[in-house]
Amino acid sequence: DRGRYRHFMEKEIHEQPEAIATTLNAHLDGTRICPSLDPELLGRVRAIHILACGTSYHAGLVARYWIERLARVPVSVEIASEYRYREPAIPEDTLLIAISQSGETADTLAALERAEHAGYLSTLGICNVPESALTRQCENVLMTRAGLEIGVASTKAFTTQLTVLLLFAAALAKAREADPGMIRQVLEDLGQASQQAREVLAMDGEVQQVAEEIASKAHALFLGRGPEYPIAMEGALKLKEISYIHAEAYAAGELKHGPLALVDDTLPVIVPASSNPLLTKLISNLQEVRARGGMLYVFADRGVSLAPAPGIRMIRVPAPHSIISPIIQVLPLQFLAYHVGVLKGTDVDQPRNLAKSVTVE
């Protein structure tokens, strides 16, 4: 039932504050983080391989920043369809994490199956569907509590995957005796996520104005740095699948290595910008875009100050910078794709050629 919403995607975007809160509650028990995971197992983990496809892969890419920063465990993230046909070298005591909303994605399951005989320490599935093939195949499971996701484009499954992955990073850090103050801060920030998401979702009208400008374009470029780079990738994926506009994402530092040649006054450049230590570098990348006439749309959190200038449109994301920024920054990009799709009259809940569950290779 879509209720008062026009599409499931719109409804599911709006369900995120609650889905995040429910997911958090499911994996916190007083001071215990992810109590279903054995702390002794976590203490043994010396490396992590993450496998997933599509949006779930982007969640894995964000998690790499979190896990390495908080728990100091090396992480590699790979698309399952690539991994399954490689001969990966697996260091001792490596934990395999498979991320899948549906738990039925053929490539992710096949990768997991191959890995079972490859000498991993253990497997952990992150999944939204209980009783799916993935939850049956993994030794450990952390469920996302997004509720049923019907729109083909993943929205609330993604932000709840991020919620679980940040909790997991904190649990791993704790098992490895990281600074308790740092872990407390992560939990405090996560505790703000649901409320911040609610405030960001209230900026829908402003995003709609941006959508009106983007809807007539043939191409769009997304740029990000640090944990906002995978968010730029996710923004580009959402835009192309919902609106059929060709969109590409680059790490902002890669501009000079090729994509800058594309930039002219017909190319919108969309940037999730967080006031993290890389902000000054990001801003100098943006100036390179401006110098070539590219129109900039910067989704900036409260700490970003950019002088107003022609060709730069600042969309203020009403949230401070913190470790949860990627969870918050993706929300306006989901809205953007949604509104562009609606303006173009595409079938946003059922984009052409796509299926919700990719059960064949």
Active-site residue set? 356
- When asked if residue 351 is in the footprint of ligand F6R (CB under 6 A), the reply is no
What the block records as the tokens of 158 is: 């993604």
- When asked if residue 55 is in the footprint of ligand F6R (CB under 6 A), the reply is yes
Select the residue whose beta carbon is closest to ligand F6R and give its number.
54
| Three-class DSSP labels, 243-306 | HCCEEEEEEHHHHHHCHHHHCCCCCEEEEEECCCCCHHHHHHHHHHHHHCCCEEEEEECCCCCC
* Beta bridge mates, 77: 50
Stretch 218-247 residues interacting with ligand F6R (CB under 6 A): 237, 241
- When asked if residue 63 is in the footprint of ligand F6R (CB under 6 A), the reply is no
* 51-59, 181-189, 250-258, 269-277 -> range binding ligand F6R (CB under 6 A): 51-59
- When asked if residue 358 is in the footprint of ligand F6R (CB under 6 A), the reply is yes
Taking the least distance from each CB to ligand F6R, the nearer of 157 and 173 is 157
**Residue 193 to residues 157, 189, 222, 325, 328, Cα–Cα distance (Å):** 15, 7, 24, 9, 7
Return the residue of 48, 53, 97, 270 that touches ligand F6R, per CB under 6 A. 53
- Beta carbon of residue 256, minimum distance to ligand F6R (angstroms, whole number): 29
Return the residue of 102, 135, 137, 325 that touches ligand F6R, per CB under 6 A. 102
Pairing type for strands 28-29 and 32-33 reads antiparallel
CA dihedral of residues 308, 310, 316, 322 (deg, nearest 10): -70
* Beta bridge mates, 295: 268
Taking the least distance from each CB to ligand F6R, the nearer of 151 and 268 is 151
Q: CA 273 to CA 262: how far, in whole Å?
A: 21
SS3 state of residue 3: coil
Return the residue of 56, 276, 285, 322 that touches ligand F6R, per CB under 6 A. 56
**Interface with ligand F6R (CB under 6 A):** 53-56, 100-102, 105, 108, 153-154, 237, 241, 358
